[in-house]
């Protein structure tokens, strides 16, 4: 599904990613771990099409297409979803309007008609309930005045509604208490399927207790320096990142 | 037809003498420094005539803006149209010409008393007004539904109207001023409204200026609020090539004044808003919130002044002006001013000028929404905060529709 080859990315004059390679197939869950400043968030942002990054080398192929050539909204319509580390508060725009506008933009891209108003409401209400969110959230402004946990749940709600193929979770566990973490993890686990892949970017192993990855990669100094199975995360938890960086 | 009443004739004569000295205001006056009126002088407009009949296109245009569930006072090119109008019974509402004859004892003593800083436009309007509305609501009475005062310009000409609204003690009313014109027509509309609110009276006034994109507009609203009177104003400046709006209110003890405004400029529109709230006595409260969106080469002006007199202890006043510039050629001149002579007061003011937030645009894009659509959503939301304050459903619909036409897909109906 996703092939990242020798990816090199600068922010201004600073090299952040220095030849990163990663292959992700449908149905897989990959965890990207690493120390602060290793380039984890840069990777998430570059995948989702955020501006402010210069790709100086390498390629990203997504479903046999050149991802880097697509504007952010086309990536989203093609099934790439970024769950933000810091979801943006948007005053005056209701959650329900954002969800409907986004769903219709994606449907239009796929050649489908706009979603029926009643069907949409039934769908969104069931997904909201599944995430243990009050329906009132739907009619509040996007993320405005939401707690950290509510914002992250809202990201998962959007993910559940838009049914992307490639889900990127950027530090989704940050700022979550244990109950919120469990709800978010349950939401993600419910979305696991053989057609869908996940990239979880995380500093801590905590999230991986709830969402078991198939692969764990260590990103340090702009490169993946070690890959392994779920057990690698436990090793990192125990030993930290130092022993790998020195090696 | 101008009414032949001696007190009014004297007033018109005096106004003419003053207008001959002042002409239309020049930019040398501080209150007018951002607005150049020379184009109006150059147009050399003639005065509009009273039209006998008008065609179906005009009728349909008018019908589009006549609000349901309201009384209507219709002015066509400045002339009161009794046939198209529906006025409330049992409450004094009539044309100002009729009032000058039949309600002279009420009207004459107050006429011109609320205008504290007269200038060329107020003089001009006093000299030349063809008609206007007179509303007088007795104590403890209320208007059972809003009265819409609809100004419709059809001719390439100028027209002036003069209005007086009096609410006696504890009276209550909602009024809506709507200014429209035949599309692409060039004209000048000048309207001066004086409002007198006695103790505990409560008036909500909406103004929707939706003139043609070649029109010149002046609208002045001058209010006197007696003790504990409430005045709420919602000012929507959407149309016109050059439009100036003035709202000035004088607050006695415990009065409350809320001024909300939204100006939406595009192309080469010039939208000037001047407000002045004078806290003359203690314990009055004022809240002012104006928002502007300027696109293309449009220019907006916000001059908000709050004066707190020496006697006006315990004044509570807040003023806020927020602007969104959608183009690098758009311009806003904003000047909030506090003039405080009392020592025990709570006054705050704030101004922001900015662009759409890049992070918000990207967030929407990352959900599949393209950049233009994202910008419309965010711009609509910025403006809609003011539209949402409208509590008359038919008016809310009307303004919401105008906003949606400016920013398609900005929201769902």
| B96 lies in some domain | yes
Of B240, B151, B246, B148, which is closest to residue B194 (Cα–Cα)?
B246
Which of B360, B368, B380, B411 to mutate to probe the A interface, most A CBs <10 Å?
B368
Q: Which of B251, B268, B284 is the last residue of a domain?
A: B251
Instruction: Judge whether residue A115 has pLDDT over 80.
Output: yes
Confidence of residue A227 (pLDDT cuts 50, 70, 90): very high
What's the average model confidence in pLDDT over B386-396? Answer: 98
pLDDT attached to residue A84? 96
Residues of B in contact with A109 (CB under 8 A): 368
How far is B363 from chain A, CA to nearest CA, in Å? 7
Give B-chain residues touching A106 at CB under 8 angstroms.
368
My answer on whether B247 and B361 are in the same domain is: no
Which run of H or of E encompasses B258? strand B256-265
Sequence length of chain B is: 413
pLDDT tens for each residue of A191-210? 999 999 999 999 888 899 99
Same domain, B21 and B168: yes
Residue B97 lies in a domain: yes
Q: What is the pLDDT of residue A247?
A: 55
Percentage above 70 pLDDT, chain B: 99
How many whole angstroms separate alpha carbon B99 and alpha carbon B5? 11
Q: Which residues of chain B neighbour A162 with C-beta distances below 8 Å?
A: 367-368
Q: Which residues contact A113 (CB under 8 A, 6 or more apart)?
A: A107
Helices (H) and strands (E) in chain B, counts: 9, 19
B69: left (phi over 0), alpha (psi -120 to 50) or beta: left
Q: Is residue B132 part of a domain?
A: yes
With a CB cutoff of 8 Å and minimum separation 6, the contacts of A54 are: A9, A10, A11
Nearest CA to A73 out of A108, A40, A42, A97 is that of A108
- pLDDT at position B55 is 85
Residues of B in contact with A75 (CB under 8 A): 366
Structural domain contains residue B76: yes
Domains delineated in chain A: 2-246 (3.40.50.300)
Q: Are residues B62 and B177 in the same domain?
A: yes
Q: Which residue of A has its CA nearest to B388?
A: A92
pLDDT digits (tens, 9 = 90+) for B330-378: 999 999 999 999 999 999 999 999 999 999 999 999 999 999 999 999 9
Helix (H/G/I), strand (E/B), else coil: B409: coil
* Domain endpoint, select from B221, B251, B281: B251
| B239 and B125, same domain (yes or no) | yes
Angstrom distance (rounded) from CA B296 to CA B266: 6
Q: Which alpha helices (DSSP H) does chain A contain, by range? A: 40-48, 72-77, 95-109, 117-130, 148-162, 178-191, 230-239, 242-246
**In Å, what is the CA distance from A206 to each residue of A181, A185, A202, A211, A238?**
9, 11, 9, 9, 12
Question: What is this structure's pTM?
Answer: 0.94
Question: Based on the domain organization, do B239 and B122 belong to the same domain?
Answer: yes
Hey, is B299 helix, strand or coil?
strand
**How many domains does the structure of chain B reveal?**
2
Does residue B2 have a pLDDT over 80?
Answer: no
Least confident of A128-132, B304-308, B326-330: A128-132
Query: What was the pLDDT predicted at B328?
Result: 96
Nearest to A48 by CA among A140, A175, A138, A155: A155
CB contact residues (below 8 A), chain B span 292-331, against chain A: none
Looking at chain B, which residue has its C-alpha nearest residue A74? B368
A7-21: pLDDT as tens digits? 999 999 999 999 999
Chain A residue numbers touching B408 (CB-CB < 8 A): none
Domain boundary, last residue among B251, B274, B293: B251
Q: Is the pLDDT of residue B413 over 80?
A: no
B113 in any annotated domain: yes
Q: Say whether B369 and A100 touch across the interface (CB within 8 A).
A: no
Q: How confident is the model at residue B1 (pLDDT cuts 50, 70, 90)?
A: very low
Residue B157 has pLDDT above 50, yes or no: yes
| The two structure tokens encoding residue A156 | 């998962």
- Residue of A51, A73, A141 lying closest to B369 (CB–CB): A73
- Whole domain around residue B393: which residue ranges? 357-413
> How far is it, in rounded angstroms, from Cα A146 to Cα A149?
8
Nearest to residue A157, comparing CAs of A181, A136, A184, A177?
Answer: A184
Closest chain A residue to B384, measured at CA:
A92
CB contact under 8 A, B373 and A105: yes
Among the listed ranges A184-198, B50-64, B89-103, B292-306, which one has the minimum average pLDDT value? Answer: B50-64
Report if residue B290 sits inside a domain. Answer: no
Closest chain B C-alpha to A45 CA, distance in angstroms: 10
Cα dihedral angle (B224, B136, B108, B9), rounded to 10 degrees? 110
For residue B377, the chain A residues in CB contact (below 8 A) are 93, 97-98, 101
Average pLDDT, chain A: 93
pLDDT band at A246 (very low <50, low <70, confident <90, very high): low
H, E, C per residue of A69-125: HCCHHHHHHCCEEEECCCCCCEEEEEHHHHHHHHHHHHHHHCCCCCCCHHHHHHHHH
Q: Is the pLDDT of residue B186 over 50?
A: yes
Question: Under an 8 A CB cutoff, do A105 and B370 touch?
Answer: yes
Q: Taking 50 as the threshold, does the pLDDT of residue A34 lie above it?
A: yes
Asked if the structure places residue B303 within a domain, the reply is no
Same domain, B247 and B362: no
Query: Could you say which of B367, B371, B382 has the minimum Cβ distance to residue A158?
Result: B367
User: What separation in angstroms does the CA of B94 have from each of A98, B64, B187, B189, B341?
Assistant: 48, 24, 26, 21, 41
Question: Is residue B52 assigned to a domain?
Answer: yes
Answer whether B326's CB lies under 8 Å from B379's CB: yes
Q: Could you read off the pLDDT of A19-32 as tens digits, one per residue?
A: 999 999 999 999 99
CB contact under 8 A, B365 and A158: no
Q: Verify that B378 and B237 share a domain, yes or no.
A: no
Q: How far is CA A224 from the centre of its chain?
A: 18
List, for residues A123-178, the tens digit of each pLDDT value. Answer: 999 999 988 889 999 999 999 999 998 999 999 999 999 999 999 999 998 888 88
pLDDT of residue A241: 82
């Amino acid at each position: 599904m996703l092939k990242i080859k020798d990816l090199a990315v600068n922010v201004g004059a600073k090299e952040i990613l220095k030849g990163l390679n990663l292959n992700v197939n449908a149905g897989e869950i990959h965890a990207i771990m690493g120390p602060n400043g290793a380039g984890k968030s840069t990777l998430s942002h570059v995948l989702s099409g955020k501006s402010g990054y210069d790709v100086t080398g390498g390629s990203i192929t997504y479903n046999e297409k050149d991802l880097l050539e697509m504007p952010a909204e086309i990536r989203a319509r093609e099934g790439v979803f970024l769950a933000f580390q810091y979801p943006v508060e948007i005053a005056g725009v209701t959650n329900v309007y954002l969800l409907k506008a986004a769903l219709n933009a994606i449907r239009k891209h796929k050649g489908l008609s706009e979603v029926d108003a009643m069907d949409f409401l039934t769908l969104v209400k069931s997904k909201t309930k599944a995430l243990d969110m009050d329906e009132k959230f739907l009619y509040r402004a996007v993320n405005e005045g939401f707690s950290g946990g509510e914002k992250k749940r809202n990201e998962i709600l959007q993910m559940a509604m838009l049914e992307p193929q490639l889900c990127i979770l950027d530090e989704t566990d940050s700022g979550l208490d244990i109950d919120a973490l469990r709800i978010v993890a349950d939401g993600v686990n419910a979305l696991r399927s053989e057609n869908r892949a996940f990239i979880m970017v995380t500093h801590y192993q905590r999230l991986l207790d709830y969402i078991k990855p198939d692969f764990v990669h260590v990103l340090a100094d702009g490169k993946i320096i070690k890959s392994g199975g779920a057990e690698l995360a436990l090793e990192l938890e125990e030993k930290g990142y130092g022993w790998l960086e020195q090696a | 037809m101008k009414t032949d009443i001696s007190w009014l004739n004297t007033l018109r004569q005096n106004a003419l003498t003053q207008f001959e000295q002042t002409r239309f205001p020049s930019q040398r006056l501080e209150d007018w420094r951002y607005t150049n009126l020379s184009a109006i002088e150059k147009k050399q407009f003639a005065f509009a005539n009273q039209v006998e009949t008008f065609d179906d296109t005009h009728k349909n245009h008018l019908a589009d803006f006549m609000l349901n569930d309201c009384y209507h006072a219709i002015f066509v090119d400045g002339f009161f149209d009794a046939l198209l109008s529906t006025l409330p019974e049992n409450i004094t509402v009539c044309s100002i010409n009729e009032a000058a004859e039949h309600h002279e004892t009420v009207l004459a003593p107050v006429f011109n008393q609320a205008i504290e800083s007269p200038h060329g436009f107020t003089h001009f309007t006093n000299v030349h007004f063809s008609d206007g509305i007179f509303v007088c609501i007795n104590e403890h009475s209320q208007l059972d539904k809003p009265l819409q005062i609809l100004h419709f310009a059809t001719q390439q000409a100028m027209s002036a109207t003069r209005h007086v609204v009096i609410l006696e003690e504890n009276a209550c009313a909602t009024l809506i001023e709507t200014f429209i014109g035949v599309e692409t027509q060039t004209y000048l509309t000048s309207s001066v409204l004086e409002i007198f609110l006695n103790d505990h009276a409560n008036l909500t006034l909406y103004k929707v200026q939706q003139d043609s994109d070649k029109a010149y507009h002046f609208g002045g609203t001058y209010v006197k609020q007696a003790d504990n009177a409430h005045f709420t104003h919602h000012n929507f400046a959407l149309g016109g090539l050059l439009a100036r709006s003035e709202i000035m209110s004088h607050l006695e003890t415990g009065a409350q004044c809320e001024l909300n405004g939204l100006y939406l400029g595009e192309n080469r529109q010039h939208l000037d808003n001047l407000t002045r709230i004078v806290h003359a006595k203690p314990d009055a409260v004022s809240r002012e919130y104006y928002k502007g969106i300027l696109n293309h080469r449009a220019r907006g002006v916000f001059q908000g002044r709050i004066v707190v007199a020496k006697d006006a202890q315990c004044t509570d006043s807040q003023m806020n002006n927020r602007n969104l510039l959608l183009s690098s050629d758009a311009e806003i001149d904003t000047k909030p001013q506090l003039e405080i002579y009392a020592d025990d007061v709570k006054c705050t003011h704030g101004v922001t000028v900015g662009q759409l937030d890049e992070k918000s645009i990207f967030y929407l894009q990352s959900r599949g929404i393209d950049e233009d659509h994202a910008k419309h959503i965010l711009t609509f939301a910025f403006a809609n905060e003011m539209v949402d304050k409208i509590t008359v459903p038919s008016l809310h619909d009307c303004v919401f529709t105008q906003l949606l036409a400016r920013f398609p897909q900005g929201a769902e109906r």
